[in-house]
Chain A
Amino acid sequence: GENVEQHPSTLSVQEGDSAVIKCTYSDSASNYFPWYKQELGKGPQLIIDIRSNVGEKKDQRIAVTLNKTAKHFSLHITETQPEDSAVYFCAAGSGGQGNLIFGKGTKLSVKP
């Protein structure tokens, strides 16, 4: 079955710096790649997603890139702010059924 690896597990940056989180997936049939942000005591919240027919997508300070050949995708956050501090999860899905396989998460800390 599908397996999603996520790195790093923890990431600490200074406010204003960029942060990059990387994920790899195993199932070549995967065609949907969302990223979720989870704050303490809350459920995950979708921040951006990308489908396999697109190589890059950007939304203000957040961007995601996808390399289907290498089976990896990355989250880029620019001009980080303290409120970006949270756990970020990548996920992969296929077949249009809606079920997702999540990575283990990256705890991002943005120091003011």
Chain B
Amino acid sequence: EAGVAQSPRYKIIEKRQSVAFWCNPISGHATLYWYQQILGQGPKLLIQFQNNGVVDDSQLPKDRFSAERLKGVDSTLKIQPAKLEDSAVYLCASSFRLAGAYNEQFFGPGTRLTVL
């Protein structure tokens, strides 16, 4: 079974530029998560999708971050414009997600973003 795919693996940009990250979850997984992991810290949830609907985006800085999962499969996370404090690893995860139950979250390898 293929795992969660993310691209690119690394990205370096100047502050105020824009950047986009792509995630392809495990086939059949209804729930998709985007996390931000700052160096030396645990992952912090940015947004959670159930199929193509948003379940939780309370921690997403909506003035600069946006995410979509239009067809309920792949997802894109965008930052525009980027700030220095956005330097982090952006992790995508997916889970099968039976309603009302906890399912294992499978993480991708992440995209390491450096903002100069």
Interface string of B76-103 (1 = CB under 8 A from A): 0000000000000001010101011111
What's the tally of chain B residues with a CB closer than 8 Å to chain A?
28
Which of A41, A98, A101 is close to B31, meaning CB atoms less than 8 Å apart? A98
Which of A96, A101, A103 is close to B102, meaning CB atoms less than 8 Å apart? A96
Contacts A/B (CB < 8 Å), 16 sampled: A43-B4, A44-B107, A46-B106, A51-B102, A89-B42, A89-B43, A91-B42, A93-B102, A96-B100, A98-B55, A99-B48, A99-B55, A102-B44, A104-B40, A104-B42, A105-B42
Closest 9 pairs (CB-CB, A-B) = A102-B42, A43-B107, A96-B100, A32-B102, A89-B42, A46-B104, A44-B107, A99-B45, A102-B43
Which of A43, A46, A101, A105 is close to B108, meaning CB atoms less than 8 Å apart? A43
What's the tally of chain A residues with a CB closer than 8 Å to chain B?
26
